[in-house]
Structure 1
């Protein structure tokens, strides 16, 4: 069952003050941690979804770069835009670009549930859904289009209208830690 990886890296980083996906943790840019976690599990292709203003900052040696045709329309729009361009994958594993603690083990754990009868596999931590680190089946496309046509941009709007399975993770799972501010980064630097 062919599964592609999507790294969402087109945001404005307004709270951070500059493009946070290029900030480094342990000498690697944040986005590279998501690329590595997906690649280590054999996902192919790995796609970075970004906008034209950020495109030149990415190392594209092992990834496809997809430019959003409309900038800053949110993650649902970006995922939909990528899925429409790739016909082969059944599943798309989505990770954001600001999660430098994501691991290949986390990705592996979610991939084990692809055989389910659901359109999405979404991790949950402390009763909080994590739709930016989740699997979406190609069957989500019609509902994505409907939600976007209703001018709704959040992944939660999609999940309210499709069958999804939740996979619980403990508070100890650090893959969900995202960096939104420079203070966030300073808290985790060695």
Structure 2
């Protein structure tokens, strides 16, 4: 049983982006590796949730465990990836990080991690008035709820979050620039990376 597992979500089809975001680069590093590297110092183990077409390539370029969504939930979005990680590696906590947040840093991961407590189901940043559920920590206690949401064909992260007792942490509390949480959804966003 691990204390904390890092979960890199790289399983999406990246339709809006036009190609797999995991393979995009920023400052010479693949997006998925930026997430993996940010998590590594603060967790006991990292698991990368991969799209089937990327699995062998990610394995060649990663130091982490690489798995695909569980068969019955394959391709059903972030909740499927989180549940897959929880079923794959037993841990008290899971730090979930989408691969499309290239400004994220190890320091930010550390600051969010400091908020974990048995009093909460999760620690979710609340940045510029919006929750960031894919740069967040979740307790193993949420696993049954996530399974229930998947089985009810409700894949919306916000619907899951609304049923949890979460601790919200703002950019002010974290002492970080909100831009660090910017996710790259389109090729236009990607071209604007500095």
Give the number of the structure whose residues are more often helix, by fraction.
Answer: 2
Q: Is the 8 A contact 1:10 1:71 kept in 2?
A: no
Between the aligned partners of 2:81 and 2:57, the Cα distance in structure 1 is: 18
Deviation at 1:72, TM superposition (A): 1.9
Between the aligned partners of 1:181 and 1:141, the Cα distance in structure 2 is: 31
Deviates more, 1:135-144 or 1:50-59: 50-59
Between the aligned partners of 1:67 and 1:25, the Cα distance in structure 2 is: 24
Deviation at 1:34, TM superposition (A): 0.6
Query: Of 59, 74, 77, which aligns to 2:77?
Result: 74
RMSD: 1.6
Between the aligned partners of 1:100 and 1:9, the Cα distance in structure 2 is: 13
Q: What 5-or-longer segments of structure 2 have no aligned partner?
A: none
SS at match of 2:67: strand
Q: Tell me the equivalent position of 2:114.
A: 112
- Correspondence 1:85 to 2:88: yes
Q: Is the 8 A contact 2:33 2:62 kept in 1?
A: no
Query: 1:69-128 deviations in whole A, cap 9, x for unaligned?
Result: 2432010111011101212x1000000011111001110111101124011110001110
Q: What 5-or-longer segments of structure 1 have no aligned partner?
A: none
Q: Tell me the equivalent position of 1:175.
A: 180
Between the aligned partners of 1:116 and 1:107, the Cα distance in structure 2 is: 19
Deviation at 1:173, TM superposition (A): 2.8
TM-score (norm 2): 0.90
Q: Is the 8 A contact 1:123 1:166 kept in 2?
A: yes
Between the aligned partners of 1:2 and 1:176, the Cα distance in structure 2 is: 25
SS at match of 1:2: strand
Query: Of 184, 190, 193, which aligns to 1:185?
Result: 190
Deviation at 1:172, TM superposition (A): 2.2
Q: Is the 8 A contact 2:116 2:123 kept in 1?
A: yes
> Post-superposition, which runs of at least 4 consecutive aligned residues in structure 1 deviate over 3 A?
none
